[in-house]
Chains A and B, each alone.
Chain A
């Protein structure tokens, strides 16, 4: 890292701004302490790299425009292993290439942040079609943490959250952005440095002789050892024992992946964040995430004006899915609507959880355009 940081004071631009969603991501990353970024040009994520290339070097960080997205993800992973807070940003086509790296980062338990600004195949129109790829894109067993912002402000806030979750759980965290919010200018409030919470990576207090790189409590990540200090940690994709050596052991493999997936699936209550709107008296509930939350809320206002008691569960954490909460809601209502911009992918997951309790109607739109409130309201009325 650049030891002669000239302008650390420029890192957090506290105040009120009117900025592009993509810029809000950059400001969020910087506020979270990001000091390594690699990216490859792709619309509609370019503004992230462009602003990073200016902002990161001025606060002593490193910016690299890689030769492809594989470079981006792998250099971000290794920089993190070397101690950096690192991030990459791409859009759907580039996100494809990153899956292999996400698999490695999940297996080796590497904190890093990936921004995917979803776009329609080859075109920069609005979509949420990568929602399943964010969960299942890589080969092998793993759990994902995916956050879905719905505004420029949330792009800022959730990018910070993503860095914190990544460090806390030693896992890659994906911020699921969309053309809609990435390329929209909005009010973004950047707080004072003191009121931004940052999760600091803890390093082991053990000596190299005592330290076992992959020994951890059940459902928890292991402790990091600093690089280059004689801990000789082997970060291999292959199965490795707690001491980090690479020797196949069927029982050990099972245990390792129980822990790696369990640290997320068994900590859902800690990880999952949702917001509820009018749930108290709701007969039916909309589940929405990302930018679709906005027209969905407007549609609820229309419905309520007409006397239909409908509420909304906004998913900030799309993965892991907050199973218990969603099931609880389903038990007490007549119907669930899932609003999303794809062929109806997340709806299947909601059906899996809710069908024993109530019907699920999916309100999908898959033509590069976000729903209007009228469209959502019409779909609600039809099913009511």
Chain B
């Protein structure tokens, strides 16, 4: 006899919102699951979690969640997060950002939120392109890739978002991929418990756009395979030289440290006289 059972994470999803709008094989559904698994494992008070998305496929993850959420403006997620976190430090703020949202249009906010050590968690879904708009080149698109706006291949260098975050002052930074669910969930848990600016970059397959244009395949498995083949652990990477690391995605934790969190640009102090 088949027993009908509800997914234990279903309780975190808004009523009447499923099915979601992600393409078949998209990584966003997996990442939504990883996040909810992390929240559930940690038994966090879901009422106190505020989720934020900008625009893009990734940015739509919050619209499925039973949380207070902000959505619909491109690249301003960290500005939103700051207003909420400073005024209500008791709330946990989680941002779901696409690579375009976070480091193209929102790049400046990203530097400054890292620098300030704003106490929020950013889950970056790096699908190597602007997916929702139809597969244009992004700051994360590998050099020479063909996209909808690089018909002859991209001649722009890519951003290593994790490196950028570390050098700007973020205090928890890691990179995983949808091919590594266990490590990703574990890392999201660490990020959620971390006091300070935490970033979990998740390399994710976009079969519909990045897959078809840059990799010439719309098969999610093959796109995932491409990510896996290019991924290398941080420990292994430490033994390789720059040339050997070319075109590789380094997975692992890049920083985990404590530093005072942002509460405002200037904090009241009694004048001594």
Residue ranges of A at the interface with B (Cβ–Cβ < 8 Å): 1-2, 6, 35-36, 38, 53, 57-58, 60, 62-68, 70-71, 73-84, 86, 100-101, 104, 227-238, 245-246
Contacts and interface: CB of A to CB of B under 8 A. Distances in A.
A114 B68 CA distance: 25
Contacts of B65: 232
B16 A81 contact: no
A57 B267 CA distance: 6
Contact of B50 (A38, A74, A227): A227
Interface residues of B, number: 40
Nearest to A35: B87
A83 B87 contact: yes
Contacts of A245: 14, 16-17, 63
Interface string B43-87: 000011010000000000011011111111100100111111011
Residue picked from B79, B80, B108, most chain A C-beta under 10 Å? B79
B92 to A, nearest CB: 9
B84 A82 contact: yes
Contacts of B81: 78
B18 to A, nearest CB: 12
Contacts of A86: 83
Contacts of B70: 78, 81, 235-236
A73 B91 CA distance: 21
Contacts of A104: 72-73
B17 A232 contact: no
Given A74-B83, A104-B73, A227-B91, A53 B66 contact: no
Residue picked from B48, B67, B88, most chain A C-beta under 10 Å? B88
B214 to A, nearest CB: 29
A78 B80 contact: yes
A68 B108 contact: yes
B79 A71 contact: yes
Interface string B109-127: 1011000000000000000
Given A38-B83, A71-B79, A228-B88, A246 B63 contact: yes
B79 A75 contact: yes
Contacts of B109: 67, 70-71
B89 to A, nearest CB: 8
B68 A227 contact: yes
Nearest to A233: B68
A203 to B, nearest CB: 13
Nearest to B110: A67
Given A82-B88, A227-B50, A232 B16 contact: no
A235 B265 contact: no
B262 to A, nearest CB: 9
B266 A227 contact: no
A227 B91 CA distance: 9
Contacts of A230: 47
B268 interface: yes
7 contacts: A67-B109, A71-B79, A77-B80, A78-B70, A78-B81, A101-B73, A233-B69
Given A228-B88, A235-B70, A245-B17, A82 B266 contact: no
Contacts of A66: 79, 112
Contacts of A81: 70, 83-84
A228 B50 contact: yes
Contacts, number: 139
B17 A235 contact: no
Contacts of A233: 68-69
What 5 pairs across the A-B complex have the smallest Cβ distances? A237-B72, A78-B83, A79-B83, A74-B79, A75-B83
Given A74-B76, A74-B83, A75-B80, A58 B268 contact: yes
B72 A238 contact: yes
A78 B264 contact: no
Contact of B266 (A57, A74, A234, A238): A57
Given A53-B265, A63-B265, A64-B264, A234 B71 contact: yes
B268 to A, nearest CB: 4
A159 B2 CA distance: 65
Contacts of B268: 2, 6, 57-58, 60
B71 A235 contact: yes
Contacts of A64: 82, 86, 264-265
Residue picked from B69, B86, B90, B270, most chain A C-beta under 10 Å? B86
Contact of B270 (A6, A228, A236, A237): A6
Contacts of A38: 82-83
Given A63-B266, A67-B109, A36 B72 contact: no
A78 B73 contact: no
A36 B89 CA distance: 14
Nearest to A7: B268
Nearest to B17: A245
Contacts of B47: 228-230
A212 to B, nearest CB: 13
A236 B17 CA distance: 15
A83 B81 CA distance: 14
A35 B26 CA distance: 42
A36 B68 contact: no
B112 A67 contact: yes
Interface in B239-273: 263-268, 270
Contacts of A79: 83-84, 86-87
A226 to B, nearest CB: 9
Contacts of A75: 79-80, 82-83, 86
B87 A65 contact: no
B67 A232 contact: yes
B82 A71 contact: yes
A232 B86 contact: no
Given A62-B86, A81-B84, A228-B90, A53 B266 contact: yes
Contacts of A70: 76, 79, 109
Contacts of B80: 74-75, 77-78
A92 to B, nearest CB: 21
